[in-house]
Amino acid sequence: MRAALFPGLRGQGAFADRVAAIAIKTSAFLAIISLILIFVFIGKEALPLLTSAEVQAEASLSRLFLPQSPRPGTATEYTWQPISETPKYSLMPLFAGTLKVTIIAVLIAVPLAVAAALYTSEFAPPWVRETIKPCIEILAGIPSVVIGFFCLMVIAGWLHDAFGWTYRLNALTAGIGLSLAVIPIVYTVSEDAFSAVPQAFREGSVAMGASMWQTASRVVLPAAMPGILAACVLGFGRAIGETMIVLMASGNAAVLSWSPVDSVRTFSATIAAELGEVVQASPHYHVLFFLGAFLFVMTFTINLAGRWFVNRLQKKLQGAA
């Protein structure tokens, strides 16, 4: 249209304008493409578990999920021993390990981070707010390998001296380290949720004679609930995929137990520890990509759920305000 209004423009900028538009649209499209590529290329390497008879002879789905007896006649068990004469690929010990560490991390991180977010948004004087926010940003910026290092070298030592558990590196040590990585995201999302609650809610509550704590706990907290749920969900997603901390601090023994002070091995740590030495295109290789595909689908779903909660919060507060 502009070219019609200003005929002189046709030669000068119209061509560059068209080229730029195509380049920019392509770039934006690449974000979608790369997400699809991740899914396709990890799925592609995981697929032989379902399709290839050769791979299934060693690692079929029933071998991954159901109890197996190592030799005919012996009792059935769940064992992850991919490198042995008869490789065993039961995912159950890894699943239990992942769940244990993740739950411990979330149980530590969520109460701390949500309470801290409530404090900063409702009670804190401005200077405290200006102190804790950079602190959280610093925590979010610490590379996970550094947290893993700290866990292994320092926290594990402290806990061992204090309680003397059999395993120096265990699910609890890793969970504590992991909570350091989860706190920033839970804090940020819940702080956003608290500050999204309209000021009128608080004023109304205080006008009815409620104290500050009553306002915070009975008005602000319920109003921000979808946001808090989103924070928990996104924190869980962060914890389940985190690799370096659990790889360094969990002890990496694929043991099936419910004790929080046994060594554990998680999905992510298994990939990180074994992909380096695996024979390419072996059943073991495909199982590792299967674990990756599982993590991808899991975090993808979790993130969608998290976003859904955030959108609900926005709708709810828009409708109310």
Q: Which of residues 17-76 bind other proteins (CB under 8 A)?
A: 17, 19-21, 23-25, 27-32, 34-35, 37-38, 41-42, 44-45
Note whether 251 and 264 are within 8 A (CB): yes
**Using rule CB under 8 A, residue 130 touches other proteins:** no
Map residues 288-307 to x or -, x wherever contact with other proteins holds by CB under 8 A.
Answer: xx--x--xx--xx-xxx-xx
CB of 249 to other proteins, least distance (A): 10
Binding mask 177-206 for other proteins (x = CB under 8 A): ---x--x---x-------------------
* C-alpha span between 223 and 118 (Å, rounded): 12
Closest distance between other proteins and the C-beta of residue 146, in Å? 6
Which of these segments, 48-56, 69-77, 195-203, 284-292, binds other proteins (CB under 8 A)? 284-292
DSSP label at residue 68: B
Nearer to other proteins, 20 or 61 (CB): 20
Answer yes or no whether residue 96 interacts with other proteins by CB under 8 A: no
Beta strands (DSSP E) in the chain are 80-81, 88-89
One character per residue 139-178, x = contact with other proteins (rule: CB under 8 A): x-xxxxxxxxxx-xxx------------------------
* Binding segment toward other proteins, per CB under 8 A, in 10-18, 61-69, 94-102, 194-202: 10-18
- Asked whether position 208 contacts other proteins by CB under 8 A, the answer is no
Q: What is the DSSP string of 263-306?
A: -B--HHHHHHHHTTTPPTTSHHHHHHHHHHHHHHHHHHHHHHHH
CB of 56 to other proteins, least distance (A): 20
Q: Measured between alpha carbons, how far is 63 from 16 in angstroms, rounded to an integer?
A: 59
Please pick, from the candidates 66, 67, 111, 166, the single residue that binds other proteins as defined by CB under 8 A: 111
Burial of 310 (0-12, 13-18, 19+ CB in 10 A): buried
Each as own residue / partner, the long-range contacts of residues 313-319 (CB below 8 Å, 24 or more positions apart, any chain) are 313/193, 313/196, 313/224, 313/225, 313/226, 313/227, 313/230, 314/196, 316/223, 316/226, 317/196, 317/197, 317/198, 317/223
Residue 240 corresponds to which tokens in the numbers above?
A: 């389940």
Q: Please report where in the chains the tokens 């402290």 appear, as a residue.
A: 158
93 vs 251, which CB is nearer to other proteins?
251
Site string for other proteins, 238-277 (x = CB under 8 A): x-xxxxx--xx-------------------x--xx--xx-
In whole angstroms, how close is the CB of 190 to other proteins at the nearest point? Answer: 11
Question: At a CB cut-off of 8 Å and minimum separation 6, what does 99 contact?
Answer: none
Is residue 217 at the binding interface for other proteins, with CB under 8 A as the rule?
yes
The contacts of residue 30 (CB under 8 Å, 6+ apart) are none
Closest contact distance (angstroms) between CB of 264 and other proteins is: 16
Question: In angstroms, rounded to a whole number, what is the distance separating the alpha carbons of residues 218 and 221?
Answer: 6
